[in-house]
Chains A and B, each alone.
Chain A
Amino acid sequence: MKNAFSHATYLLTVFLLLILSPQHTPLFATPEIPSNIVWLTNDQDPLFSDDTAQKGGLFRSAVFTFPLTFRTVGPDSNSGFRDAILGNQLGLIGIHPNTEKIIPELATSWAFDPDKKTMYFKLDPRAVWSDGKPVTADDFTFTLEFMRSPHIVAPWYNDYYTQEIDKVIIYDDHTLAVVAKKAQPDLHLRVGINPTPRHFYGVLGPDFVTQYNWRIEPNTGPYQMSDFEKGKKVTFKRKKDWWARDNRYFKNRFNVDRVVYEVVRDMTVMWEYFKKGKIDTFGITMPKYWHTKTQIPLFENGYAEKIWFFNDTQQSAQGLWLNQDKEIFKERNLRYAFAHAMNIEKVIEQVLRNDFYRLEHGFVGYGRYSNPSVKARRFDIDQVARDMKASGWDRGPDGIYVKNGNRFSVEVTYSIDEHTERLVVLKEEAKKAGIELNLQKLDVSAAYKKVMEKNHDVAWMGWSTSLRPQYWEHFHSINAHKPQTNNITNTDDPEMDKLIDDYRDSLDEEKRIALSLKIQEKIHEIGCFVPTFMVPYVREASYRWWRLPKVPGTKMSGSLFDPFGSTTGGLFWYDKARHEETQAAMKEGKTFPPVTIVDRTYEPK
C-alpha cells in the first residue's frame, strides 16, 4: 500500500516537474521585471590583494580528522573540512571584507525592490560549473528544492529555506529574483544564496545521504578537489582557466596551484610536522606557541617567520553566563557581586601573558552596532562586599558569603581542557572575594546538553558570531525557562522584550543601531553575562617563501593562509626564488635575520 502510494507521488512529482519547469511551460506568462528598480554594481571599493602575487606552488596544510563525508549538508557534514569545500562555492553576491559593501560574485549586478523582500540579480554569463556546464537561474531554483527536500536529512536547512526564503523567480536564464519571507533590513545577507547544480543531482531520492557521501559536487570557485585518499589526505587543484580569475575582487588571489590537506591527529605532532617542513604554515595564536615554542633555530635562523595580524571582526561572546532561574542569581545584587569577583585582568596579565584583551560586552566588533560606552565590571572586592551587604549576606567561617545557611557557592560548567588553568586562577581569586566556584569540566556534548537544558549555575562558554548582533535568541523572554533555546541566562524582562521586538521589526538602519546600543546597555544592567576575553588578532608561522600582501589580511581575516573562501581567502602566494634560496641556505648553514611582523592596521583602539 505504502509502496503504491509513494510510486504514485513520484509519478505526480515528475508530472508536476514537467509542467512547472520553465522550459516546458507555455501555461504561464513569463514574469516581468519591474521597471522602477535601479541596477547596482560595485567596481569602486579598494582592492585587498597584491598585484605582485605570482601563480604556482604547492601548499601543504593539515587537518585533525578526515571528513566523514564530502556532502556539505546532512548527517556528519558539519566538520571543519566543510569550509574548504564551501570556500570554493560562490554565492550570488559577496561582502567586501573591509567595507562590508556588496561586491559581485556570480551576479554582476543587483537591484532592490521597494518591498524590502525581493532582490534582483543578473548572472555573469561567463559563470560555469567545474564540469563546464553554464550556471543558470534554474540552479538557484534548484537550491530551494534541494534545501527543502527531506531526503537531505538536514532539518536546519529545511527550516531555513522554508521560513526565510520564499521563492526564486526566473526571468530568463541569467536574470532572477530571490524573495525573502518577510521584509527585513540587510536583505542581501539573506537572499544572496548559492546555486546548486541540478544537472549533477537530478531528482533527489531517499538514498541521497549515502549516495553522495564521497561524490565531488561541481563548484564555481577557484579550486576543485582533484584527488583524495580516505583517511589520509585530500588534494585541491587550481582551475587554470577559472571563469572569474580576472574579476576585480578575485584578481591576484588564489595563487597556489595545488593545496594538500593531510590528516595529522594531534596538535603536538602537527607542530613537529611544521618544524620538519612537512606543512607550510602553522597557527601560533596561543601564547605558548608564540612566546615559547617558537624560540627555536628554525625561527632564529630566519627560515620561518612569525606574523601577528590584528583583525577587526565580530568577537565571540565569551564569558560566564549566569542562570537566573537558579535561586542565587535571581537577585541582581548577587549577579553584580559575582561579576566583581571575577579577576579576569589577573588571568589576562599573569596567565595569558597579556596577549588577550578584556571583552567589554557580548557584542564587540559589530561596527556601529556595538556600544563602546558599555564596560565590563572589574574585579573589586570592596564592591562585592557592598553588593552582598545590601542583600544581607555575610562572610561565613571559611570566608565564603552565607545567608540563612546558604553559601555563595556555584558550579561553573566548562568543557575545554586548556581553560582549566584560567578557571583555577579565577577560583582562587573569587575565594578571596568570598565566592566559591566549583569547576565542573564535562565532555563537550555533555556540557552542551546541560546548558541547553538550563541545568547549569554558570556556563563558561562562547557563542559564534554573525554579521549583525542577534538578541532575540539570547535575551528574549519567549526563549526563557524552557530547554533547547539559546537564552541560557533565562533573561525574562519585559523592557528587554520590547527593545528586542522593536529591533527585529525595524527596517530602518539608524533606528536599529540606536536600539542595538540600548539593548547592550540593558544587558549590562541585568548583569547576567560576565564577559571575559577576546582575541582580536591571528598569529601565524610560515616558511619564508610564503608571501603576503603589504597589508597581510583584511578586517575579516580569520587566517592569513586560508587558501579558499571568496571573502578573505587566497591572498598569499608562493615565491619560487625565495624557496630555492632558503633551501640552499639551509643546506649550507647560512642564516637570515629573524622576522617577526606585527601588523596593526586594524588594531582595536
Chain B
Amino acid sequence: MKIDPATLKKIKRFQSIKRGYYSLIAISLFIVLSLFAELFINSRALLVRYDGRYYFPTYGEMIPGRVFGFDYDYETNYRELQKRFREAPSDDWALMPLVPYNPYENDLRQDDYPPFPPSFTEKHFLGTDTIGRDILSRLLYGFRTAILFSLALLFATYGVGISLGCLMGYLGGRFDLVFQRVIEIWTNVPVLYVIIIISSILVPNAMILLLIMAFFGWTSITWIMRTATYKEKTREYVLALKALGASDARIIFKHILPNTLSIIVTFAPFALSSGIVALTSLDYLGFGLPAPTPSWGELLQQGWSNMDAWWIASAVISAMILTLLTVTFVGEAVREAFDPKLFTTYE
C-alpha cells in the first residue's frame, strides 16, 4: 500500500509528539489486554492436567466439577482444584490466571464482611467491592464494556453524522434547510433525562442503550461535517471536478471526504472519551447497564457510599483518570498533527 506523502508527514508529526504517541500505544495495549481479559483475570484455569488429560477451560463450555472428581454438577471451582492438587502430590496440576476471580463471583467469608482491602495472599490486588467481587477484575471487564461501547457509539454516530452532514453541505438548498431545523430541535432534547426515563421503563441492555445514545448523539458531528463540506464544495478543485464531469458520488467519496478527514480524526478521540464518561455516569446514577454487568459507574457509586473502603473509590477514580487522560493526549496530538495551518495556505 502506498501512503500519500502528506499523510505520511502527518503520521510522522504525530509520532514526534511523544506524549500523544505513547498514550496511543498505552490505550491500544489496554484495549488488546481487555479483549483477552479471560486469559489474565478469570476464575477458570488456563490449563488443567488431570488423569493424563489436558483441559483448556478458559474458552468454551463449562466443565462440571464431577469431571475433576468433585461431587457437584455445576462449574468446577478451579481455585479449589488447584489447592487440592497441591495438597495431594500427584502429576495433576492446574495453571490459574494472574487474578483467579471472574468479575461476577462473590468471594465471601465466614465471620467477616466485604468490602475486603487489597491483599496479595488472596490475590485481590485491588481489594473487593461491597459484595466480595474482585475490583481489578471488575475494572478490566468494565473497561472492556466501556471502551467497546464507546467505539460502537462512535461508529454509529459518525456513520450517521458524516453521511448526513456531507449530504447537507453538498446538496444544500431545501434538504439542508430541513435538516438544519431537525438538528436544532434535536439538540434541545435533554438527552440524559430521556435516557433516564426510557431506561426506567425498559431493561437497558447494551444494545438498547447504544441505540438511544446514538439516536441523540449524531447531531454535533453532522453540524461539523456540514460546515466542512460546504467549505470544500466551493473550492476550485471541486469546480474543476464538476467541469470534468465527475459524478456526485465520486466527488464526495473520492475528494471531499478525504479532505475533511482531518476534522473527523481530530474529533474522534474526544468523542470516545465522552462516550466512556456518559456510560459511566449513567451507571453511576443506576440507569445504565443492568446488574451485575461490571461497570465503572457502579464501582464509583459503591466507592461514594463506602468512603471508608478507600480502595474502591481510589481504584476506579485512578482508572478513569488514566484512561481519559491517555485518550485526551492522543486527541491533542492528533489535532496538532492534522493542523491544516501547517500545510496549507489560504488565498
Identify the A interface with B (CB < 8 A). Answer: 268, 291-292, 346, 349-351, 353, 381, 385, 395, 397-399, 417, 420-421, 423-425, 427-428, 431-434, 438-443, 446
Contacts and interface: CB of A to CB of B under 8 A. Distances in A.
A421 B131 contact: yes
Contacts of B132: 350
5 A-B pairs closest in CB distance? A443-B200, A432-B74, A350-B108, A397-B61, A421-B131
B75 A439 contact: no
12 contacts: A292-B308, A399-B75, A421-B130, A424-B104, A428-B105, A431-B75, A434-B74, A439-B291, A439-B292, A441-B290, A441-B291, A442-B201
A446 B131 CA distance: 26
A400 to B, nearest CB: 9
Contacts of B106: 350, 424-425, 428
Contacts of A420: 291-292
A434 B75 CA distance: 10
B291 A350 contact: no
A322 to B, nearest CB: 19
Contacts of A433: 74
B73 A425 contact: no
Nearest to B60: A397
Contacts of B54: none
B203 interface: yes
Given A292-B308, A443-B201, A432 B291 contact: no
A351 B105 CA distance: 13
A398 B61 contact: yes
B305 interface: yes
A397 B57 CA distance: 13
Interface string B89-111: 00000000000000011101110
A398 B62 contact: yes
A443 B290 CA distance: 12
Given A421-B130, A424-B131, A353 B113 contact: yes
Nearest to A291: B113
Nearest to A399: B62
B305 A425 contact: no
B286 interface: yes
B213 to A, nearest CB: 19
Interface residues of B, number: 27
Nearest to A350: B108
A397 B62 contact: yes
A446 B72 CA distance: 39
Interface of B: 61-62, 64, 72-75, 104-106, 108-110, 113, 130-133, 200-201, 203, 286, 290-292, 305, 308
* Chain A interface SS verdict (over half): helix
Given A292-B308, A424-B106, A432-B72, 16 more contacts: A268-B305, A346-B108, A353-B113, A385-B73, A399-B64, A399-B75, A421-B131, A423-B291, A424-B104, A424-B131, A424-B133, A425-B131, A428-B105, A431-B75, A439-B292, A446-B200
Contacts of A351: 108, 113, 131
Nearest to A397: B61
Contacts of B105: 428
Given A398-B62, A439-B290, A350 B113 contact: yes
Contacts of A440: 203, 290
Nearest to B293: A439
A395 B291 contact: no
A494 B44 CA distance: 50
A291 B62 CA distance: 39
Contacts of A417: 286
Most chain A beta carbons < 10 A, residue from B64, B105, B291 = B291
A21 to B, nearest CB: 51
Max count, chain A CB within 10 A of own CB: residue among B130, B131, B290: B131
B75 A432 contact: yes
A486 to B, nearest CB: 22
A164 B116 CA distance: 56
Interface centre among A395, A423, A425, A427 (most CB of B within 10 A): A425
A420 B64 CA distance: 27
B306 to A, nearest CB: 8
A291 B64 CA distance: 38
A439 B204 CA distance: 11
Contacts of B291: 420, 423-424, 439, 441
A428 B101 CA distance: 13
A441 B199 CA distance: 10
A353 B130 CA distance: 12
A34 B259 CA distance: 101
B74 A431 contact: yes
A425 B292 CA distance: 10
Contacts of A439: 290-292
B201 A446 contact: yes
A438 B291 CA distance: 9
A426 to B, nearest CB: 10
Contacts of B73: 381, 385, 395, 399, 434
A381 B74 CA distance: 9
A292 B133 CA distance: 20
A420 B129 CA distance: 13
A385 B133 CA distance: 28
A350 B109 contact: yes
